Amino acid sequence: MSITFKDTAADSRTALGFGTASTLDVGTSANNILQLDSSGKLPALDASNLTGAIPVNTPSFLVRPPSNGTFTNTTWVNVGSLMSYKEFDTASAFSSTDSGKYTVPTAGVYHIIAQVDCDAGDSNFNNAELAIYKNGTLISSTKLSEAGEWGYRFSLTTQWMGSCSVDDYLQFQIYTSDTSGSMTYTAINTFFAGFKIF
């Protein structure tokens, strides 16, 4: 086999059968070729446009109240405004001081979960409803009615999956009714959470 070098580098690449990839730089920018690092791993890169890639499920958030508390009886309570403790909030999109809103930072399909853990103590529990709102409109709710029960403790969870646009906002509220008017909640089992599915 003989190799003939041409007058220019481009002619030589053509003669040797090299494609255009032979002229690309190594790196993580556009039109670069990826190269494994010294540990045999891919360098850090933005995988958002990889076809068939497993989604990272961000942005995401999980917030809780900082301590146990009491819900106002027979009125709708904005539970999000009580959620000043953040387990995580990858886009800093939740605000307990802005009406307990999670303001969507990236458009997509989201899974949203709200839960409260309540204790009516020695009172006569009547009913409770937990609701998620999108832009002020009800999108999911869970109800419980046990009139006549004494010392009733319960957890309510409601979930929603659907499309969100940038700057849509999500909130959740609860309505409770019991004869003592002192429905309490436990912080560890009361939370508001969600993540982008894709």
- Domain locations along the chain: 1-43, 60-196
User: Is the whole-model pTM more than 0.95?
Assistant: no
- CATH code: domain 60-196 is 2.60.120.40
The answer to whether 96 and 82 are in contact (CB under 8 A) is yes
Average pLDDT per block of 10 residues along the chain, 198 residues long: 61 63 68 73 64 74 96 92 96 95 97 94 82 98 75 86 98 89 88 96
| Dihedrals phi, psi of 14, to nearest 5 degrees | -65, -45
Q: Cα torsion for 148, 149, 155, 156, to the nearest 10°?
A: -20
For residues 187 and 190, give the distance between their C-alpha atoms in angstroms, rounded to a whole number. 5
Are 158 and 141 within 8 A, CB to CB? yes
pLDDT at 138: 98
